[in-house]
């Protein structure tokens, strides 16, 4: 199909920041990576957290090793990227578990402490990426799915300030946001953050019309991996794609999983090329 060569890079899940604060990440034989258990048993445990050495410990050290291996093997054939950090709220939930949402009410001081520390690590990792790759980061993205579980009022207090801190440090030329749980009421924060590109992923709470009505920001629209691509047919995939175009989606993407029929992949590519 003569695809553009966008490059390759190491991907060590959504847990890189969390691993730098002591989370143990396991890689099952036949499943996705996962955190063995929350690091913080109580809200006050945040004061015990220590930041690990990204060059020697945690998943960042593995990502750096893999990046260097890829650079050596690929040479000049493809760009090799090093990135993939997670958003503040999501990393806080990974470290504390679902009790983090209770902490917002009962232990807001400790919740802010955790978010500040997570953001500090996120900024540090971007500095490490700059040093390892030798390239300055002028555009950056934030993936923060769990931020959509906050009320708009909580988002203002607990998500917005920390996301903004990351963008202002590394998003001078572009700011991407991926979040799959935002509601229409959250979209007002994106222009205030200076977001230039929004990916709602598989967000079940937003429609194309919601996004177009609330914000004037480029966004992508996803055909759902399981419902549309895995369980669909070439005919339904093409119909879903055409419907999204008719509703005004400026960009349409999808993610594949094991078991997707080849004819479904071909159907997605073929219908996409009709709208190039």
Write out the DSSP string of the chain: -------B----TT-HHHHTTTPPEE--TTS--EESS-S-SSGGGGGG-----TTTSHHHHHHHHHHHHHHHHHTTSS-B-------HHHHHHHHHTTHHHHHHHH-HHHHHHHHHHHHHHHHHHHHHHHHHH-----EEEEE-GGGGGS-HHHIIIIIHHHHHHHHHHH-SSEEEEE-SS--GGGTTHHHHHT-SEEE-TT-SS--HHHHHHH--SEE-EEEPIIIIIIS--HHHHHHHHHHHHHHT-S-EEE---TT--HHHHHHHHHHHHTT-
Residue 11 banded pLDDT, cuts 50, 70, 90: confident
Other residues' Cβ atoms within 10 Å of the Cβ of residue 128: 18
User: C-alpha angle 104/214/197, rounded to 5°?
Assistant: 80
CA distance 49 to 39: 9
pLDDT at 5: 58
pLDDT at 4: 54
Instruction: Give yes or no for a contact between 233 and 260, defined as CB atoms under 8 angstroms apart.
Output: no
pLDDT tops 60 at residue 56: yes
Closest CA to 179 of 202, 163, 156, 210: 202
Q: What percent of the chain has pLDDT over 70?
A: 98
Name the CATH topology of 16-219.
TIM Barrel (3.20.20)
**Structure tokens belonging to residue 247:** 């509703």
pLDDT tops 50 at residue 1: no
* Tens-digit pLDDT profile for residues 130-180: 999 999 999 999 999 999 999 999 999 999 999 999 999 999 999 999 999
Give mean pLDDT, residues 249-274.
96
pLDDT tops 90 at residue 276: no
pLDDT tops 80 at residue 2: no
Query: Could you tell me the CA-to-CA distances from 33 to 62, 64, 66 in Å, in that order?
Result: 14, 18, 17
The ranges assigned to domains in the chain are 16-219, 223-276
* Tens-digit pLDDT profile for residues 22-40: 999 999 988 888 999 999 9
- Helices 108-133 and 58-74: crossing angle in degrees, nearest 10, is 20
pLDDT at 74: 87
CA 207 to chain centroid, in Å, comes to 20
Lowest-confidence region among 84-88, 144-148, 168-172, 191-195: 84-88
CA distance 232 to 78: 33
Instruction: Give yes or no for a contact between 178 and 201, defined as CB atoms under 8 angstroms apart.
Output: yes
Q: Which residues contact 228 (CB under 8 A, 6 or more apart)?
A: 236, 237, 240, 254
């Amino acid at each position: 199909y003569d695809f553009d060569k966008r490059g390759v890079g190491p991907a060590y899940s959504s847990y890189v920041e969390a691993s730098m604060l002591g989370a143990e990440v396991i890689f099952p034989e036949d499943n996705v990576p996962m955190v063995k258990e929350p690091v913080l048993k109580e809200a006050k445990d945040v004061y015990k957290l220590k930041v690990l050495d990204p060059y020697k410990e945690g998943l960042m050290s593995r990502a750096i090793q893999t990046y260097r291996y890829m650079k050596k093997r690929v040479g000049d054939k493809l760009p090799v990227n090093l990135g993939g950090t997670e958003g503040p709220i999501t990393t806080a939930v990974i470290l504390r578990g679902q009790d983090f949402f209770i902490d917002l009410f009962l232990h807001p001081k400790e919740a802010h402490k955790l978010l500040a520390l997570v953001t500090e690590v996120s900024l540090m990792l971007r500095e490490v990426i700059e040093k390892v790759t030798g390239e300055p980061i002028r555009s950056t993205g934030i993936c923060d799915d769990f931020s959509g579980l906050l009320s708009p009022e909580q988002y203002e207090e607990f998500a917005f300030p920390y996301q903004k801190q990351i963008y202002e440090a590394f998003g001078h030329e572009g700011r991407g946001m991926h979040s799959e749980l935002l509601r229409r009421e959250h979209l007002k924060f994106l222009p205030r953050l200076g977001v230039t590109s929004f990916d709602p992923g598989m967000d079940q709470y937003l429609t194309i019309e919601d996004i177009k009505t609330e914000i004037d920001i480029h966004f992508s629209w996803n055909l759902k991996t399981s419902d549309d691509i895995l369980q669909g047919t070439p005919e339904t995939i093409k119909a879903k794609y055409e419907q999204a175009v008719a509703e005004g989606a400026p960009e349409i993407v999808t993610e594949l999983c094991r078991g997707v029929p080849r004819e479904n992949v071909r159907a997605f590519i073929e219908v996409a090329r009709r709208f190039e």
